[in-house]
């Protein structure tokens, strides 16, 4: 078997393809959550707290960085401790964790419903059908 054929067999296994799809969907979901946090939640929190923009909160660690600069500009100027950006990332994580919790909980409920649903009786085997016919014939004789 050639190495190309071995790789093709490996790549086409169900688990590898499922994992690749999961990674792609996860990356897209991450962008959606990033937008929800950055464009929807953090502005609301900023409005509640008096117009504060958490993404620009930092502590300068270099004398070249002046307070009041935008965070991106401050990073270019020197070392900064960007705790506002960290807070935004923590909020993103909490949202992702919450959504995944809800999804897993819903999937578990569906599995419990499937397990609780009564299963149809199994089809009788050939032996059982034959024995039933013999029983019925013996019952007719008697």
CATH number at residue 92: 1.10.1200.120
Looking at residue 56, the DSSP 8-state letter turns out to be: G
Number of domains in the chain: 1
Please provide residue 61's backbone torsions phi and psi, each rounded to the nearest 5 degrees.
-110, 5
Q: Please give the mean pLDDT across all residues of the chain.
A: 82
Q: Retrieve residue 138's tokens.
A: 């013996």
Residues 75 and 82: beta-carbon distance below 8 Å: yes
Is residue 87 included in any domain, yes or no? Answer: yes
For the ranges 4-13, 24-33, 84-93, 132-141, the maximum mean pLDDT occurs at 132-141
Average pLDDT over residues 95-106: 83
Residue 136 lies in a domain: no
Asked whether residue 127 is domain-assigned, the answer is: no
Buried b (16+ CB within 10 A) or exposed e, 100-130: eeeeeeeeeeeeeeeeeeeeeeeeeeeeeee
In this structure, are residues 62 and 35 in contact, taking their beta carbons and an 8 Å threshold? no
Residues pairing with 106 in the sheet: none
Q: What is the pLDDT of residue 127?
A: 92
How much is the pLDDT for 133? 92
Q: Is the pLDDT of residue 135 over 90?
A: yes
Report the alpha-carbon distance of residue 109 to residue 103 in Å, rounded.
10
Report yes or no on 141 lying in a domain: no
Domain that holds residue 37: 3-117
Assigned domain for 22 exists? yes
| Nearest Cα residue to 99 out of 29, 49, 46 | 29
**Residue with structure tokens 């897209």?**
28
State yes or no: pLDDT of 51 exceeds 80.
Answer: no
* Rounded distance between C-alpha atoms, residue 78 and residue 63, angstroms: 8
Is residue 17 one of the residues assigned to a domain? yes
87-100 pLDDT, tens digit per residue, is 878 877 888 788 77
């Amino acid at each position: 078997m050639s190495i190309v054929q071995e790789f093709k067999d490996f790549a086409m296994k169900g688990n590898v393809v499922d994992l690749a799809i999961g990674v792609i969907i996860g990356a897209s979901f991450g962008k959606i959550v990033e937008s929800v946090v950055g464009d929807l939640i953090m502005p609301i929190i900023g409005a509640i707290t008096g117009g504060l923009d958490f993404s620009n909160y930092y502590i300068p660690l270099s004398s070249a960085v002046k307070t009041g600069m935008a965070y991106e500009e401050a990073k270019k100027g020197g070392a900064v401790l960007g705790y506002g950006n960290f807070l935004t990332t923590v909020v993103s994580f909490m949202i992702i964790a919450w959504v995944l919790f809800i999804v897993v909980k819903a999937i578990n409920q569906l599995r419990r419903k499937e397990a609780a649903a009564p299963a149809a009786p199994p089809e009788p085997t050939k032996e059982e059908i034959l024995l039933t016919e013999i029983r019925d014939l013996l019952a007719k004789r008697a």
